[in-house]
Amino acid sequence: MPSKAREQLTAFEQTWLDQLNAPLSAAVAADTTDDRLAEAMTYSLTAGGKRLRPLLTVATLTTVGGTYTAERDWRPVMALELLHTYSLIHDDLPAMDNDPLRRGEPTNHMKFGAGMATLAGDGLLTLAFQWLTATDLPADKQVALVQGLAHAAGPNGMVAGQAKDVQSEHVDLPFDQLRRLHREKTGALLHYAVLAGLILGDVPTEQRAPYLDFADAFGLAFQIYDDILDVVATPAELGKATHKDAGEAKNTYPGKLGLVGANQALIETIASGQAALKRVGDGRDTSLLAAFFSYFDTKRVKA
């Protein structure tokens, strides 16, 4: 029987996924002058992602009492999904992970060639920043969103984490360096997803720490769980090859702690994120954000 948290998250997804997904293809086509490029961009963008990051933004905005208006907020919210999808396209390229499958379908370069896939990623990356400003949001909010996403995605965040990941294959990283790699490579965009909701919801800087601590715990939990699934899940479940981390001698939580140890780290990380939400003041109901932890099945690994 699904938990109450899982039921709450499922209901939230059912409310929002169609609203977030429905305009995507037409909006990308409207902002792209080359049909083949638009096709390649849309191919990966509409390939069945969970929309976890924009959902986190909307959930944060909802939690802090903000109001979502599609005409004003849809493009700024979905800009993060454009950028996330660009990162997946480039991550799958032959020069990087050389993956043939993503979400159970051929990766972008397998369908369109490495050159067009590279350009599709480039197009999504730059369009993300256009969408952050294609809105009547106040200028100070636009600037804060642009700065936040640039920091999260660039050489202070995701790109730095990817660089560390490339350099650390066949190198046994100390645990503090592995945590930093994960915080940059995976956690930075999830941190920004919550930050964007706080910006849109007019939450003062001095009141943001508990929400951002939750975001950082969620980001780490996401990476630990992804490491675990690479070991215990099937390719059919994940829609991509499994057991790649060990084959490429990557630094992972199961590799360092074993499956049971990694699962315990996941449980402790979830607990720290839940504790962060309990520090939110003003009597806010944070159960929706806490429900995002129901993505992680801590019972997949048996002690």
CATH number at residue 247: 1.10.600.10
In a domain, 201, yes or no: yes
194: nearest Cα among 54, 6, 12:
54
pLDDT tens across 47-73, in order? 988 999 999 999 999 999 999 999 999
- Please tell me the predicted confidence (pLDDT) of residue 109: 98
CA separation for the pair 294, 223 (Å, rounded): 15
In a domain, 300, yes or no: no
In a domain, 205, yes or no: yes
Give the CA distances from residue 8 to residues 60, 126, 211, in Å, rounded to whole numbers and listed in that order.
Answer: 14, 34, 19
CA separation for the pair 170, 249 (Å, rounded): 5
Which domain does 289 fall in, by range?
Answer: 4-295
In a domain, 225, yes or no: yes
- Please tell me the predicted confidence (pLDDT) of residue 246: 56
- Backbone Cα Rg of the chain: 19
- Please tell me the predicted confidence (pLDDT) of residue 227: 93
pTM of the shown model: 0.94
pLDDT tens across 99-131, in order? 999 888 999 999 999 999 999 999 999 999 999
In a domain, 249, yes or no: yes
- Contacts (Cβ under 8 Å, ≥6 apart) of 281: 207
261 touches 269 (CB < 8 A): no
- Strands 105-106 and 101-102, bridge-based pairing: antiparallel
Confidence of residue 170 (pLDDT cuts 50, 70, 90): confident
Residue 206 CB neighbours (<10 A): 6
Confidence of residue 2 (pLDDT cuts 50, 70, 90): low
In a domain, 173, yes or no: yes
CA separation for the pair 101, 239 (Å, rounded): 7
191 touches 165 (CB < 8 A): no
- Please tell me the predicted confidence (pLDDT) of residue 249: 65
List helix spans (H) across the chain. 4-21, 24-30, 35-45, 52-63, 70-92, 108-112, 114-133, 139-153, 158-167, 175-182, 188-200, 209-232, 235-238, 244-247, 253-278, 287-291
In a domain, 302, yes or no: no
In the numeric block, which tokens belong to residue 133? Answer: 């400003």
What is the rounded end-to-end Cα distance, in angstroms, of the chain? 22
Angle between helix 70-92 and 4-21 (nearest 10): 100
Total domains, the chain: 1
Question: CA 227 from chain center: how many Å?
Answer: 15
- Please tell me the predicted confidence (pLDDT) of residue 248: 60
- Contacts (Cβ under 8 Å, ≥6 apart) of 202: 64, 66
In a domain, 280, yes or no: yes
Q: Inform me whether the pLDDT recorded for 229 exceeds 90.
A: yes
